[in-house]
Structure 1
């Protein structure tokens, strides 16, 4: 029962980013918005840290956490587009990784060969998220940094999508059933 309660609290911590996103839309005060971005980043750090260090990772947590992250970031970025602080192109560049990984996840659930593959965060994805948060903050406190950060997110996002795709393909290849007499992936790597 205690594990269930802990998991429920972690999921609630993750989901708290969605009300923060709603508040972000309703307030126009830059310092308050900075606080909301920092609050979202803090909840993201805390739920991940606690889950890893207390061994509380779960299937639902692995789904809820990135959805809550993307929900907050997309709502905040869309608010800036509506307010004229970001262009639609900026928005597209800032969310390209999120859209690509979302589509990839759907494809992986539909294509039977990919279903057993466990999806986990990768370092480049975390870098993209950090740069996205930096871009959000720069809109509020350092507008001259917006364009360089958008460009950095774009390049890093493309690298992250390639990295993630390759990781999924490798995991799929390791799990792929082999016919009789065909070498396993380990035997293949020894043969090369």
Structure 2
């Protein structure tokens, strides 16, 4: 067990803490749950940076990191869907969650056939993740109907659009393997 893997595990451990804090009947629960999510998002960047910098990449870390990311985002979006009870938030949230399921399945299948590299993380995916994390932090920090939450919903739509774009790029790269031409 190395530091990058411990940071990844800490992100998973933060998920139930974040949920409990969010639902506490206290005014500060928005700010504290947003801070917990922001800390978890920071560990997402930090664990990858440290794994590369310290040459501590492991198969366990390569497996666990995307799992932790997807769990963290899916749980936060589920909490926000419940809190906001709004189609305006539910649409981009379900696009993001659905894309994560599709791409996870695609990556698993591509790995099985030995073509995992053709669906590696793209630059668009990194921009999408940044927009997604920023919008989720803003949504968690502010009760529905406030300016920050309205701006954060707009950013979530940008993240959802980037999500669809990056999914299209992944599917395009995998298309020759998904539907090979019969000669």
TM-score (norm 2): 0.77
Return 56-65 or 78-87, whichever deviates more.
Answer: 78-87
Residue pair 1:93, 1:153 contacting (<8 A) in 2 also: no
CA drift at 1:90: 3.2
CA distance in 1: counterparts of 2:116 and 2:92, whole angstroms: 32
Deviating runs (4+, > 6 A) in structure 1? Answer: none
Partner of 2:130: 130
CA distance in 1 between partners of 2:174 and 2:47 (Å)? 24
Looking at both structures, which has the greater relative contact order when contacts are Cα pairs under 8 Å and sequence separation is at least 6?
A: 2
Contact 2:135 2:155 survives alignment (8 Å): yes
> Paired residue for 2:16, among 15, 22, 25?
22
The alpha-carbon deviation at position 168 of structure 1 amounts to: 4.8
Is 2:160 aligned against 1:154? yes
Question: Contact between 1:94 and 1:150, CA under 8 Å: does it hold in 2?
Answer: no
Matched, 1:11 2:9: no
Match of 1:51?
51
Deviations 1:115-164 (A, max 9, x none): 35346422111111111111212212311113321221121111111223
Distance in 2 between residues matched to 1:90 and 1:117, nearest whole Å: 27
RMSD: 2.3
How many residues are aligned here?
162
- Measured in 2, the distance between the counterparts of 1:86 and 1:94 equals 16
Give the secondary-structure state (helix, strand or coil) at the position aligned to 2:121.
coil
Tell me if the contact between 2:77 and 2:136 (Cα under 8 Å) persists in the aligned partners.
yes
Q: 1:143 to 1:130 in 2, by over 3 A?
A: same
Change (3 A) 1:56 1:120: farther
CA distance in 1, matches of 2:68, 2:16: 12
Structure 2 residues not aligned, in runs of 5+: 23-28, 143-147, 178-183
**Contact 1:77–1:136 (CA<8 Å) still a contact in 2?**
yes
> Does structure 2 conserve the Cα–Cα contact (< 8 Å) formed by 1:97 and 1:157?
yes
Partners of 1:85 and 1:15 lie apart in 2 by 31
For residues 85 and 138 of structure 1, the distance between their equivalents in structure 2, rounded to whole angstroms, comes to: 17
Instruction: Confirm or deny that 1:143 pairs with 2:140.
Output: no
Report the CA distance between 1:52 and its aligned residue.
1.4
Cα distance in structure 2, aligned partners of 1:18 and 1:86: 27
